[in-house]
Amino acid sequence: MSMTDPLGDMLTRIRNAQMRKKNKVTSPDSRLRQRVLDVLQSEGFIRGYTTVEFDNGKSEIEIELKYYDGEPVIRTIERISKPGRRVYASVKNIPRVANGLGISILSTPKGVMADHLAREENVGGEVLCRVF
């Protein structure tokens, strides 16, 4: 079975693992997923991630989830731009999440970045997901 939304799959794996209080979760490897995880790590939503190579040439990402006082740091993580309906935002229309407490992750011409960095760089792009 082919996967139509690999990024949405990774976000769902993170959501499910946090509901079960898991420390780590794995997901197939891709550059887009790594860039989104870079943003999540730099913003403090996950501890980090590592890439695990297998003998057959495939690789997976092992994501270390972050908890504070037994509760997940990521309260909500949801996909905004889906394969059936892409959502783009100009720099003036980039959505604010939870009045600045959360972030939107955008895919811009200057790379994948958080919403506040996109405003600083004065670029818009595809709104991939939002986290708070």
Exposed e or buried b per residue across 45-66, where buried means at least 16 C-beta atoms within 10 angstroms of its C-beta? bbeebeeeeeeeeeeebebebb
Residue pLDDT, tens place only, 43-67: 999 999 999 999 999 999 999 999 9
**Of 19, 61, 70, 20, which Cα lies nearest the Cα of 40?**
61
- Per the domain annotation, does 10 fall within a domain? yes
- Per the domain annotation, does 96 fall within a domain? yes
- Per the domain annotation, does 81 fall within a domain? yes
- Per the domain annotation, does 66 fall within a domain? yes
42: pLDDT strictly greater than 70: yes
pTM: 0.95
In this prediction, residue 2 carries a pLDDT of 61
In this prediction, residue 75 carries a pLDDT of 96
73 in Cβ contact with 67 (< 8 Å): yes
At 1, is the pLDDT very low, low, confident or very high (cuts 50, 70, 90)?
Answer: very low
* Mean residue pLDDT across the chain: 96
Span 100-127, average pLDDT: 97
87: pLDDT strictly greater than 90: yes
Q: What is the CATH number of the domain that holds 126?
A: 3.30.1490.10
Show the domain range for 55: 6-131
- Per the domain annotation, does 1 fall within a domain? no
What are 74's two structure tokens? 């990521």
Domains held by the chain: number: 1
- Per the domain annotation, does 126 fall within a domain? yes
